[in-house]
Structure 1
Amino acid sequence: MKRTLQAVSNKFSQWFLHHRSFAGYIEPVIQHFKPAWRADLYRAHIECVEKTAEHFIRISLRPEHNWPTHLAGQHINITVEMNGRLLTRTFTIASCPYERDKQGCISLLVRVDLNGRFTSQLYEQLKKTAWVNISKPQGIFVVQSLKKPLLMIAGGSGITPIAAMLAQHLRDIQEPVRLVYFAKADQHQLVEQLTQLETEHRNFSFELCTRAHSKPLSYYISVSKLVDVYCCGPNEMLHEVQQVCGDLGLKYFDEVFGLKQAPTDHSLDMGAEHTLNVDGQVISVNSSDVLLEQLEEKNVAVTRGCGIGICHQCQCVKSKGVVRDIRTGALSDNGHQLIQLCISQPVSDLEVTL
């Protein structure tokens, strides 16, 4: 019944108010009473934002009471208004549910990309505002069993979901839990928290590693037997860990730090040059990268959202040509179709309308 009423009100809005939804139409009015209110999103008050290292910031958010409780390892989309535009990115929740139960807050640990359009401005922007929008918790990278030894492998910012898992579950696990954490020298995060956990739980130990001065990943996996392996980090690390786990017959769970790509179809010429007609402007693109990155390199005004195919802010209309979805490897048809620039590689000449 509720969905039917919503559909009717949205149709009314489209016919008579020239707006996609009724909730969106009344949004400016509601925001006078509830700052940052937006339909289909939750509000979160910014409790604290601080720089924790050269390229990291920690954000403490107090979500509305009706925000669903998350599971350790899950992520959220956070939407911030910057320069009059709503920008959305995806971040893993760095805190466990117990912390929200006690303090009412969740925390994010964000790695700053100095060349990025979002994280490079995030610290200063959050200092100037009181509210952001967040999605409900998402993701299935959560601990599956508390009755087996666990091996956790993290790379860089991939420590975030794993630290949350450890904080939530160590009190309930009797079996050994081992963490191997790779990062650049002096760039390991949450070390104090990990040290505290190691002090409190005798079954937990961790090792800080750098790829240049540590044993190969295969060593850490092979010496740990009958374990479930959880890994979060760059694509290259995930592929290596997955291969070793497959050879040893170990259960493997991962969360890619960034966009997980499908294997390349070698029947396609992935280095080929193509022409792209974008709103009448013709530019050269190639099949080695997604359209969003290539358009930004050529200073074409495009809308960037999460960059990993979740938020759909870079969606546009393709009227001619074929693109490849790098997540699935699927090819589009040759006619009119909605595509997302951040996950679409050109495999022919294209025409798009932004």
Structure 2
Amino acid sequence: MIARHLPRVDHARTFARKVLVGALGTLSSPHHPDRYLELVDPLLATSVTRARITHVDRNASGSVTFTVSPARPVRFEPGSHIPLSITIDGVRHTRTYSPAYAPGAVRDGSGPIVFTVGLHPDGIVSRHLYEHAQPGLVVELGEPAGDFVLSTPRSERLILIGGGSGITPVLSMLEGLAAEGHTGAVTFLYYARTPAHVPRREALDALAALPNVEIVLVYTRSGDGALQGRFDAAHLQAVAPWFADTPVYVCGPAGLVSRVRDVYERDGAENLVHVEEFTPPTYTVDPDDATGVISFASSGVAADNTGVTILEHAESAGLTPEHGCRMGICHSCTAVRLSGCTRDVRTGELDSEPGTRIQICINAPVGDVAVDL
């Protein structure tokens, strides 16, 4: 009975909110109501979802874990990601992070959300959060998205593999499985530099106590783990010799993801590999591509084509296009290619169909290109 009534309550609240916002808009014209509401509390904004940091944990080396309390419901599936925006020195930056499992957020969008952000040496946002995140700081949350989620029905055996900050989505999956009472066997391999670099250790210890869960900690720069060194086929053979017919979900650096793919491909089981990479693609500019001019039609700006991504060209030209992950995951940086040819820097694939929406963070111009930016 309760489940049938909840949607009507949500619709009523949504309708009341729209009426209130409409009335405020009329009274506050010509400005948006947010301009005045923010003076009272930034979380009162109606056009965006803001959240206040309530707790910060820096116990793990090289990462920061923080809890946010959103001003409105944010519902997500374990493994998905959420754009997080923050203003640094007057400039708004957006990056995409996977939240930890949260019962309320998964069920109906209620309750706090936990993020673990790994420190990247050249990362503007990750360094700022690592050094300055504290209770009271306000961030902005976008809409949850992503297809890196567990398939249904659940497999009776699963392998989860994470490396570095890639622990978050796969650990979220594991916590979600535990919460729904999943009894199938789950093997979780996590790769970190040393024991001190393992975040959310309490959650891992609690899950390791479950009879159907095996957690294997592997250290690449320490001999203390169950296994040592970087991932290879021997690791899977040691903890899951039956892996070739078992779905695997892996998130982490590009090298880790690539090695897992290679192992499964050698056994003809590449269709069982589900991946998400949190490392921007690396590529070498082809001198033959770096010719001509890239034009940003809406802005009336043009620049010499140097072969880097369209996003990098735009930023060098003084533009500030919307973007998030910078690695082709979040799809927040799409723009229409009006003319010319572009290369996907991850795959090398060329595309020249005009009027196509492309991700400017992973596409580089080949010769003359015009983009609607």
Normalised by the size of structure 1, how large is the TM-score? 0.73
Candidates 183, 194, 213, aligned match of 1:204 = 213
Range 139-148 or range 315-324, more displaced:
315-324
What is the letter of the counterpart of residue 234 of structure 2? Y
User: Are residue 156 (structure 1) and residue 156 (structure 2) matched?
Assistant: no
What is the letter of the counterpart of residue 318 of structure 2? A
Q: CA RMSD in A?
A: 4.0
Q: Is the 8 A contact 1:23 1:39 kept in 2?
A: no
Distance 2:37 2:317 in 1: 35
Distance 2:267 2:36 in 1: 59
Secondary structure of the structure 2 residue equivalent to 1:107: strand
* Deviation sequence 1:54-93 (CA, Å, 0-9, x none): 421111011234333x222121111222233322110000
* Deviation sequence 1:304-336 (CA, Å, 0-9, x none): 6312354646x77877743224467352457x9
What is the letter of the counterpart of residue 263 of structure 2? V
Partner of residue 233, structure 2? 218
Partner of residue 270, structure 1? 286
User: Are residue 181 (structure 1) and residue 187 (structure 2) matched?
Assistant: no
Candidates 37, 52, 75, aligned match of 1:45 = 52
Candidates 119, 122, 129, aligned match of 1:115 = 122
Secondary structure of the structure 2 residue equivalent to 1:60: strand
Secondary structure of the structure 1 residue equivalent to 2:65: strand
Unaligned ranges ≥5, structure 2: 1-13, 19-24, 222-227
Partner of residue 247, structure 2? 228
Paired residues for 1:335-350 under 5 Å: 341-350=360-369
User: Are residue 331 (structure 1) and residue 351 (structure 2) matched?
Assistant: yes
What is the letter of the counterpart of residue 165 of structure 1? M
* Deviation sequence 1:166-222 (CA, Å, 0-9, x none): 222135232322111123234333333212221x21222222224574375223345
Identity of aligned residues (%): 24
Range 174-183 or range 94-103, more displaced:
94-103
Q: Is the 8 A contact 1:221 1:245 kept in 2?
A: no
Q: Is the 8 A contact 2:248 2:274 kept in 1?
A: yes
Shift of 1:108: 0.0
* Deviation sequence 1:108-160 (CA, Å, 0-9, x none): 00012232222222345544854322123222222224441111111221111
Partner of residue 71, structure 1? 77
What is the letter of the counterpart of residue 159 of structure 2? L
In the superposition, relative to structure 1, how do residues 243 and 270 fare at CA in structure 2: closer, same or farther (>3 Å)?
same
Q: Is the 8 A contact 1:38 1:133 kept in 2?
A: no
Unaligned ranges ≥5, structure 1: 7-12, 14-21
Range 323-332 or range 74-83, more displaced:
323-332
Q: Is the 8 A contact 2:303 2:313 kept in 1?
A: no
In the superposition, relative to structure 1, how do residues 118 and 214 fare at CA in structure 2: closer, same or farther (>3 Å)?
closer
Secondary structure of the structure 2 residue equivalent to 1:138: coil
In the superposition, relative to structure 1, how do residues 231 and 337 fare at CA in structure 2: closer, same or farther (>3 Å)?
closer
Q: Is the 8 A contact 2:291 2:306 kept in 1?
A: yes
Distance 1:274 1:316 in 2: 21
Partner of residue 101, structure 2? 95
In the superposition, relative to structure 1, how do residues 221 and 185 fare at CA in structure 2: closer, same or farther (>3 Å)?
same
What is the letter of the counterpart of residue 179 of structure 1? F
Q: Report how many aligned residue pairs link the two structures.
A: 323
What is the letter of the counterpart of residue 83 of structure 2? N
Q: Is the 8 A contact 2:43 2:52 kept in 1?
A: no
What is the letter of the counterpart of residue 124 of structure 2? R
Partner of residue 301, structure 1? 318
Partner of residue 9, structure 1? none
Q: Is the 8 A contact 2:66 2:115 kept in 1?
A: yes
Q: Is the 8 A contact 1:55 1:111 kept in 2?
A: yes
What is the letter of the counterpart of residue 49 of structure 2? Y
Range 55-64 or range 132-141, more displaced:
132-141
Partner of residue 104, structure 1? 111
Partner of residue 18, structure 1? none
Normalised by the size of structure 2, how large is the TM-score? 0.70
In the superposition, relative to structure 1, how do residues 319 and 218 fare at CA in structure 2: closer, same or farther (>3 Å)?
same
